[in-house]
Copies of this chain bind each other. A is one copy, B any other.
Amino acid sequence: MSAVDPRLSINQATIKHADLETALRVTADAGIQAIGLWREPVYEVGLDVAARMLADSGLRFTTHCRGGFFTLPEGPGRVAALDDNRRAIEETATLAAAGADGSKAVLVLVAGGLPEGSRDLIGARERVRDAIGALAPFAQEAGVTLAIEPLHPMYASDRAVVSTLGQALDIAADFEPEVVGAAVDTFHIWWDPQVLEQIARAGREGRISTYQVCDWKTPLPADVLLSRHYTGDGVIDFGSLTEAVIATGYDRDIEVEIFNADIWADAPEHVVRRTAETFGAAVSPHLA
């Protein structure tokens, strides 16, 4: 078996059922140098303990998942969502400080879908922009970058009204690149006829906050949220996308984030090894 790519980061969602201790251990044991965390397993141990565990692991911290879900109109629900995002920003700063050298304080934002009973997609998108405007000063103060993640359009109604990289960059354009950027995830944007030019634009504008990879294949499972695969198992051309990202000068870690019921049912030790192998085969050759 070849060496693990030093730029590979395991997003914790890939081993969803592992607790934080297990996730850190299996990642480090596999020779992987970086990890992206999710808020729920951090809460299970508490933020301070989680930060200490992360520091002890020696892993770099690449992203915190996730904030967002702020498409509600004015009211208590929106206030609560913004408060929760402020907590997520604080967590991100704490974890990034605990990670090994090269860690980044990046909070991934999933916009949220249409509010129940609403058909006002344009209004929901405006509220995303407003929410980011409300959070940006707080993020800047904390030294955290908010990474707007465009999600595949099949999630536009119920999960994320931000559907393309171009749209994410249009929203980010109102803010400093250190404060608001975009998450570039192959699964969500591979189909976009404008993807290569928008990746180039994201690079020019200094907005690639994180590059995430996993694969797309059909038929989609009954729950389309779980339709992600190891790199190389589907139809995404990791060559053209990765080369476009690298051409912008992106030199940081690359996360693998997979939601897949079969992979979640597998042993986490096996999943991280398989992730490293498939990343080495499908992505590493394009990182030259």
Q: Using a CB–CB distance below 8 Å, which chain A residues touch chain B?
A: 114, 118-122, 125, 152-154, 156-158, 163-164, 166-167, 170, 190-193, 216-220, 222-224, 234-237, 240
Contact = CB atoms under 8 A, between A and B. Distances in A.
A286 to B, nearest CB: 13
Contacts of A216: 157
Nearest to A162: B193
Given A220-B224, A224-B224, A156 B122 contact: no
30 contacts: A118-B235, A119-B235, A119-B236, A121-B190, A121-B191, A121-B237, A122-B240, A152-B154, A153-B153, A153-B154, A153-B191, A153-B192, A154-B220, A154-B224, A156-B191, A157-B191, A157-B216, A157-B217, A157-B218, A157-B234, A158-B218, A158-B219, A164-B192, A164-B193, A166-B193, A167-B193, A170-B193, A219-B223, A220-B224, A222-B222
Among A216, A222, A224, A235, chain B packs the most CB atoms within 10 A around the CB of A235
A244 to B, nearest CB: 12
Contacts of A234: 157
Among A154, A192, A223, chain B packs the most CB atoms within 10 A around the CB of A154
Nearest to A237: B119
Among A125, A157, A192, A222, chain B packs the most CB atoms within 10 A around the CB of A157
A193 B154 CA distance: 13
Nearest to A220: B224
A223 B222 CA distance: 7
Contacts of A158: 218-219
User: Across chains A and B, which 3 residue pairs bring their CB atoms closest together, nearest first?
Assistant: A156-B191, A222-B222, A154-B154
Contacts of A222: 222
Contacts of A190: 121, 156
Nearest to A119: B237
Nearest to A113: B218
A28 B234 CA distance: 46
A118 B217 CA distance: 12
A190 B192 CA distance: 15
A164 B191 CA distance: 10
